Amino acid sequence: MPGVLSNRTYRRLFTAQVVALAGTGLATVALGLLAYDLAGPDAGAVLGTAFAIKMVAYVGIGPLAAVLAARFPRKHLLVGLDLVRVAVAAALPWVAEVWQVYLLIFLLQAASAAFTPTFQATIPDVLTEERDYTRALSLSRLAYDLESLLSPLLAAAVLLVVGHDSLFVGTATGFAASALLVSAAALPRSHRAAAGRSITATTRGLRVYLGTPRLRGLLAAHLAVAAAGSVVLVDTVVYVRDLLGRGETAVAVALAAYGSGSLIAALALPRVLDRRPDRPVVLRATVALAALLVVAVPATAFLDDLRWYALLALWAALGAAGSFVLTPGGRLLRRSAHRPDLSAVFAADFTLSHACWLVCYPLAGWLATVTSMTATLLVLGLVATAAATAAIRLWPAHDPEVVEHEHHGLDSDHDHLHGAVMVGEWHRHAHPYRIDDLHARWPADVRR
């Protein structure tokens, strides 16, 4: 993986991602402390609402990233969105009312919802070789995992010296550094989508995504990841503190186990994907997520003194399986869309995957509140099982990139039909198949 960092443009973009993630991690800690200052015992409700607002912004604003990417130069758009995030982070220490927190969180996450898919769609244009792009995906996963592990430690160190308001200064600094690094990178010119000049740019990515069988399978896999991840992120604190009777440090250790599993998997994935196709890697990991949640039901209910160690092992395994699903996703998106449509397809993936989390977050929290951890694991395990079954059915085992197909209704002198042969009344040819204006749906004989 260090080889891809020799590319100066990618190195600057990756560094921008790392510093922005560090700033985001500081904001997560600072937001919890700010909520407690404003709401006291009701801080949990404030944070829950803030996280819901975050997901609504991701789901609602994400598709608009394609429109923005089509209308503005890529570098100017990314730098501008970073500067919006700088301004919002700098304003957070000055809020005095809960509603102000909600407004600023919406603005911050709306900017992130437009920034992230645009940034993700830039990397395939910088690293055009599949091998390099795979390693970039693993590096990105590593950055997210390290942020989840190290940002709380960094925040704790800062809080030994200054108040939590200063953490927002660190957040603003991270976004400002990201803007500087992106502005210094020599980004390739944007590919302008054909639909970019109209409102259809917001739906083009969704049409390509939902029209491609492998991406429909990926969406089902996203649901399995959300089901497992929601249990970990929402219910760990209650299970560890109330049911196991352990302290705050144990909560951090349990979450670190989840992050460590993801980290180890991200390190292993480039070699795995060099040897194996994406489909078996993703689908086996999706099945593993469902199986681990089901196994967790008796493991957390009947092992008594071993429940703590079982939790750590299960959480690490869930983190690894989730990484095996998420990291190859960028390769699938790149494979499934024309370059002009990549921004729209990355935006669609961003929106649809976060819609899965928007469903699973409250489900995990509500079930743990009104029932038990065992029931929560069982229900989310069933959700993951249904998602794994759907992923296997939706993503056909025969999934070639070059697909032979027929065109009905195109004029014989159409440029796209160069080299096609007549079969009966229709023109037939083969090429890398992607949903676009000339290919509205996947050929039925390939889907079988």
Q: How many CA atoms within 13 Å lie on the side-chain side of 161?
A: 6
**Average pLDDT of the segment spanning 284-295:** 96
Q: Which residue has the higher pLDDT, 137 or 100?
A: 100
Look at residue 172 in the predicted model and tell me its pLDDT: 92
pLDDT at 226 over 90: yes
Using CA atoms, how far apart are residues 65 and 131, in angstroms rounded to an integer? Answer: 27
Look at residue 170 in the predicted model and tell me its pLDDT: 87
In 3D, which of 114, 351, 371, 340 has the Cα closest to residue 238?
371
Look at residue 448 in the predicted model and tell me its pLDDT: 44
Q: Write the pLDDT tens digit of every residue in 89-113.
A: 999 888 888 888 889 889 988 888 8
Of these ranges, 39-48, 145-154, 260-269, 437-446, the one predicted with the greatest mean pLDDT is 260-269
**Average pLDDT of the segment spanning 288-308:** 84
* Lookup result for tokens 């969406």: 219
Encoded amino acid at 285, one letter: A
| Region for 91 from its dihedrals, namely left if φ exceeds 0, alpha if ψ lies in -120 to 50, beta otherwise | alpha
**Average pLDDT of the segment spanning 377-403:** 93
Look at residue 48 in the predicted model and tell me its pLDDT: 62
Instruction: Specify the pTM.
Output: 0.79
Look at residue 84 in the predicted model and tell me its pLDDT: 94
Q: How many CA atoms within 13 Å lie on the side-chain side of 67?
A: 11
* pLDDT tier, 269 (very low <50, low <70, confident <90, very high otherwise): confident
Domains of the chain by start residue, with CATH: 1-190 (1.20.1250.20), 201-399 (1.20.1250.20), 404-447 (no CATH)
Q: Write the pLDDT tens digit of every residue in 351-370.
A: 899 889 888 888 888 888 78
Q: Across all residues in the chain, what is the average pLDDT?
A: 82
pLDDT at 148 over 70: no
pLDDT at 25 over 80: no
